[in-house]
A and B are shown apart, each in its own frame.
Chain A
Amino acid sequence: MARITMREAISQALMEEMDRDPAVFILGEEVGVWGGTYAVTKGFYDKYGAERVKDTPIAENAILGAAIGAAMVGQRPIAELMTINFAFSAMDYIVNQAPKLRYMFGGQFSVPMVIRAVGGGGRQLGATHSQTPDSVFAHFPGLVVVSPGTPADAKGLLKSAIRSNDPVLFIEHATMYQVRGEVPEGEYLVPLGKSTVQRPGKDVTIVTYCKGLELSLKAADDLAKQGIEAEIVDLRTLRPLDMEPVLESFRKTNRAVVVEEGWKSYGVGAEVVSRMYEEAFDYADAPIVRVAQKEVPLPYNRTLEQAALPQIPDIVAAVKEVMK
């Protein structure tokens, strides 16, 4: 296995799937000549040409609408949103068209497309460009929402997403492209809709995903030095949500913290904690604590922005609180 970056892992998945299936093509802003705003598709334009790596006008509705249409007639488009913040400019297609076409027409239509989108804060981009609105999208039945936290999962989940016959929103984090990890070469699939334990432990359960995983793994190292062994469950797919590994861990540790980068109100943690209480209330030895972003639009100023985002010490403190 090679130790590669998240960027390389995503790039590898895209290339392998494009090589495997001629129906797969990419469209989006600056994916071609520029090589992708985050350099994920660097070299693709030269390798696959303008037919399969399509630079689009700045027109999110047209990008997503065209991807849906092409998918309906049998192609497998990967539409790239330069950032997930621009999803709001094309919300109708993402939540009101793609997830409903199969159902509303009695199963006649299939929309096998992937929307790749970069989300997350921490880069001083200001309130409209720094969001983690994952739970908004996970609200809608018919849409699959994936957000990987390791390079291996990024590769395996993206390959599965491309092969899925449903529309998949694949959310990457803007500050995680340099994260390194072991990634299997060649064919490697991670199933959609399966949570997993990323770090075993016996004392407390941390439920998280994406950027929250990176932070929680570091927090768990700190906690281990203080004699607390945290078990980290990574959701990986937000819809459909697989609660089994979460509940299994919680039944063992009886204490849990949920970590997400987005806002707490109506967030991923709200959903996960409700389900934990619904299905395993009797196992709780302490109230579950959520770690999330402060309820403010993210400011440009670095000190303020960092204060608004969840940090490693916040996770450590939350764990100590549930361990009391």
Chain B
Amino acid sequence: MEKEKALQMYYEMVLIRRVEERGAELYQAGKIGGFMHLYIGQEAVSTGLIAAREPRDRVITAYRDHGVALNCGISANEVMAELLGKVTGTSKGKGGSMHMADTEKNMWGGHAIVGGHLPIASGLALGDQYAGNDNVTICMFGDGATNIGYFHEALNLSKTWGLRVLWVCENNQYGMGTAVERASAVDEIRQKAEGYGMKNAQVDGMDVAKVYAAAQEAMQFVRENAQPYLLEVNTYRFRGHSMGDPERYRKQEEVKKWQENDPIGIFRAQLLRESLATEAELDALDARAESETQKSVEFAEASPEPGMDELFKDIYAA
């Protein structure tokens, strides 16, 4: 990995962590409402994946979307402002935590209906196929989403029609409180691709370098062959499903065990070991992420709320 790329990925992971930690505080303080699903623990997944895309490749994901938004290049300011429901947010404060998007960054949204965005991802790829380009659509979703019909319909369509979709299942071991083996006929989600004759692989989602390498290979396959591909990424969310999850369904020891595998810590050690970065360089990136986060909170707090005119705007095309 090139030094510049590696440092950028490290920076993005730390930024996601800081932004979400502040987000959690602001939620506790009552400044953020609704549902908020933290990505803490899973940062390596979207960071490695999105590092492997070209700007013309599209990204679409579920409601656990703050990290994906930041990786796509949406500013911390806009993410924080959306969390606070301000007009300067990605969706003018009308979408909230679950609905970050920026078409200019090719980020086609966080989506709150489980599995609902998978057929839409097929459609993004269909639009590109129809236009005659070889853009790839990266579609991320949880393990739980692979049990709903949407998943199966979308995978089948993408294979049958030769759509360029990289399906990425973030297997964080649970859908809310339901462990994978309690809800899915197969424990390895990648096996579900077999039924559709779709190329697939599994990768360790706590190691961003491995995710990046797997994503590069998969992206190349999809682009060159005009075929979909399913990548299962094994990971873990360190926090509850959303804010206020009593977490009765998993043991503290299990959470601790995974937390010892912190993707940021792993990557930091790797960068030092491989002499890709010095302690001082990484500390400087930590400080930059901290100050960017601080600025985003100030920006969001100072931003105005959407005016009453926004209530009736964007229901139909003007």
Contact = CB atoms under 8 A, between A and B. Distances in A.
Given A33-B178, A89-B116, A57 B144 contact: yes
Contacts of A124: 33-34, 85, 96
Contacts of A303: 305
B308 A58 contact: no
Tell which of A126, A128, A296 has the most Cβ of chain B within 10 Å.
Answer: A126
A260 interface: no
A176 interface: no
Q: Which of A57, A89, A129 has the most chain B CB atoms inside 10 A of its CB?
A: A57
A296 B148 contact: no
A124 to B, nearest CB: 4
Given A33-B248, A89-B148, A301-B85, A55 B182 contact: yes
B112 A128 contact: yes
A296 B312 contact: yes
Contacts of A294: 311-312
B175 A126 contact: no
Interface string A139-175: 0000000000000000000000000000000000000
A30 interface: yes
Contacts of A60: 148
B83 to A, nearest CB: 9
Interface of B: 33-35, 85-86, 91, 93-99, 112-116, 144-145, 147-150, 175-178, 182-184, 246, 248-249, 305-306, 308, 310-312, 315
29 contacts: A34-B248, A34-B249, A55-B178, A57-B144, A57-B147, A57-B148, A57-B175, A57-B184, A58-B114, A58-B144, A58-B175, A60-B148, A86-B113, A89-B113, A89-B150, A125-B34, A125-B112, A126-B98, A294-B311, A296-B311, A296-B312, A299-B94, A299-B310, A300-B94, A300-B95, A300-B96, A301-B86, A302-B85, A304-B311
Nearest to A88: B113
Interface in A164-209: none
Interface SS of A by simple majority = loop
Given A57-B183, A89-B113, A299 B315 contact: no
A126 B96 contact: yes
A29 B174 CA distance: 12
Interface of A: 29-30, 33-35, 37, 55-61, 85-86, 89, 123-129, 294-297, 299-304, 307-308
Contact of B147 (A59, A129, A295): A59
A55 B95 CA distance: 30
Contacts of A56: 183
Given A86-B113, A89-B116, A301-B305, A30 B176 contact: yes
Contacts of A89: 113, 116, 148, 150
Contacts of B306: 299, 301, 304
Contacts of B149: 59, 61
A89 B246 CA distance: 27
A126 B182 contact: no
A301 B147 contact: no
A126 B315 CA distance: 14
B34 A296 contact: no
Contacts of A300: 33-34, 85, 91, 93-97, 99
B315 A296 contact: yes
